[in-house]
Amino acid sequence: MEFFLDTADVDEIREIASWGILDGVTTNPSLIKKSGRDFKTVVAEIASICDGPISAEVTAMDTAGMIEQGLALKEALPPNVIIKIPCTPEGLAATKVLTAANIDTNVTLVFSASQALMAAKAGATYVSPFIGRIDDTGSDGLTLISEIMTAWEHYGITTKVLAASIRHPTHVLACMQMGAHTVTMPAKIFHQLMSHPLTDKGLDGFMKDWAEVEAAGKA
């Protein structure tokens, strides 16, 4: 399973990249706004920190505009940047064209299995179902991941399922059980996934005992 960081904060990216298990980064216009930085400058810096796929999102609403922005981003930014495109009819058409040009894409704002299937048919490298935002409406976002994974098995689809809008560690565990290829999550969830009180307690005990071994000159 690939672990992506969902942020445009380079300090967070440096920290999680230093753990050695960061596979990619996703950004979106809201995360770029939160960073307070210039879009292309910050994406280029992110791409220099993490050599996995870095999603940079187009903001045009029409197909021609999305293609133009996608090509321009590929031209201006490092090769590991991939193009994030909204799941609209115009976005499908842009995905088809960029895929034909050998440009990797991440079709985002996916809220149904039918949208995911259509994005896959357009050749998307990744599709991004938003789990947490579905939960926010009172439905179960994880059901969507299950529906998509089942459809994928029927048709042997190679598009990767990138579970997004992750709100807590159990979202990640459930996605693992269902075989989702990738999750993108905030830094807080990386920390939550790695933290266990028994690890801290056990390590504390080992260190105290080791200090006594050293004090006895037996280290």
Q: Which of 164, 180, 183, 189 binds ligand G3P (CB under 6 A)?
A: 164
CB atoms within 10 A of CB 40: 15
Q: Which of 5, 6, 117, 118 binds ligand G3P (CB under 6 A)?
A: 6
96 is catalytic: no
Q: Which is nearer to ligand G3P, 191 or 196 (CB)?
A: 191
Q: How far apart are CA 119 and CA 152, in angstroms?
A: 12
Residue type, 62: D
Nearest 5°: the CA angle 207, 208, 212 is 110
CB 102 within 8 A of CB 137: no
- State the minimum distance, in angstroms, from the CB of residue 16 to ligand G3P: 15
- State the minimum distance, in angstroms, from the CB of residue 216 to ligand G3P: 52
Residue 63 lies near ligand G3P (rule: CB under 6 A)? no
Partner residues linked to 127 by β-bridges: 107, 161
Q: How much is the CA Rg of the chain, to the nearest whole Å? A: 20
Residue 159 lies near ligand G3P (rule: CB under 6 A)? no
Residue 45 lies near ligand G3P (rule: CB under 6 A)? no
Residue 57 lies near ligand G3P (rule: CB under 6 A)? no
Residue 165 lies near ligand G3P (rule: CB under 6 A)? yes
- State the minimum distance, in angstroms, from the CB of residue 19 to ligand G3P: 20
Q: How far apart are CA 135 and CA 139, in angstroms?
A: 5
Q: How far apart are CA 175 and CA 159, in angstroms?
A: 16
Q: Which of 28, 63, 115, 182 binds ligand G3P (CB under 6 A)?
A: 28
Question: Which residues are known catalytic residues?
Answer: 84
